[in-house]
Structure 1
């Protein structure tokens, strides 16, 4: 096993200098740091994180807590986790858990992480978030707006994005709008529905009551609820259905296909999130891109920053989603 002593000898520096080179916050000439890194790489040396943790009082573990982890998690959440993992510094491990599974905070959370990224979808997460705050555990909350001036928060302006989508739908000549919602208590559902209501009012559209369906972000649910909308008399149907996420929109497209309803000729459909499968559907799905990669990168960068320098002013960053026009909305 290659030791720090061998690296120090080959680099012509002390073992303390080698140790400092692997501490991103240590003051050391960059030329010396890079020389040590090259030698370490050449001879196969890896720093002992456990020993380094004793010196720096760090565990080198970041917790990512989702509102819930379940079998039918949306594709969007899996893409968030992938982006978080990609943004993580090499010397950190990632631990993922659902907030709804935390029955013993002291045992499962306290003193186990250097910091926590909370991917929050619901106000039900607030109790957990405030426990983190009261225990002075570094955290950043992403995805959902938090009404607390002391908590770092990064989220996307879903309401404005929906309003942008409604304006486009209006420009295509649509007058009657349906909605397949997500889980009722999730912030995304509440904000996106409010955006539709405001957009319909501002543009003189009819928000068809019989075509407002409560879903759960699952594609099979999207398929089932679209069938219910298609069961309405043609004169009562909306001409365009917005779905609270792309997974349900893809399910809705499938329901139309099975019922012989052509998308977009007979029914237009819009999603939200711009997951990787959205452009592969038939037809390619018009949707709203959610800046998850930027959200994940900023969240991890900010979390590492406040772990290293706790006394920072609160960060509030609102990201802007964008409409992605493909082929699932007809001009009528």
Structure 2
């Protein structure tokens, strides 16, 4: 039986991360997909890449495979070590008879005993080579939405690019944005990924959510943040100020003797959800421009009446 170097098949180093393995598999899938590749051995290479991925993506099976050592090379004569099945405990998670039926004798010898009798699998393998089918690859992309979309929920039109695999033209789909969706979450569009092969199901499209920059708000996880400009007299005397929110205007109370940078917390006014976020309002005291003699006189009067030294910590009298 011939040894299979799964790392060489995916063209990755033996210390590759799971993310490296996934990227390499997707690259091989696109390169050797039988519907697009002109390579006469495309189907065989496509199955080899899938076999390598099925082993290396699973930490337990990858660790078992790595126990064989790194001195073997693809095509070399190989015998399964004695008591191989007794050395490791495998679960069948991630493998099914349909997934692995077309895989090599090498795979069968190492892992096949965990998925059915060899004679039955050999028959499945022959049938699979004649009628090979595979689900299309999932596509991952990013989509930007407005902060208001998360507060209200929305339906937005999204144009998907043409697929080079099946010749489809760009298509417009309706993207349903759920209320309360947050940065980094994924929205799944079933059947909008890469087409399958041999009658296999089409893959899915997973859209990672990010928010467009907003002129008023910014998000800190589920909390909505707003910078609120206030006048010196509003900060000193206290005031009731109307502010905008994604769900409508509300009135907030600025306490007397507030300082710049003070944060007012409105509980439950952040992103909606089972545990909604808060709205965090940061006060920003804005100094008016002093131009007329009357305005200057007013500030001189304040200077005389209010012996205030904001730099007292420096140890100087003035």
TM-score relative to the length of structure 2 = 0.22
Larger RCO (alpha carbons 8 Å, 6+ apart): 1
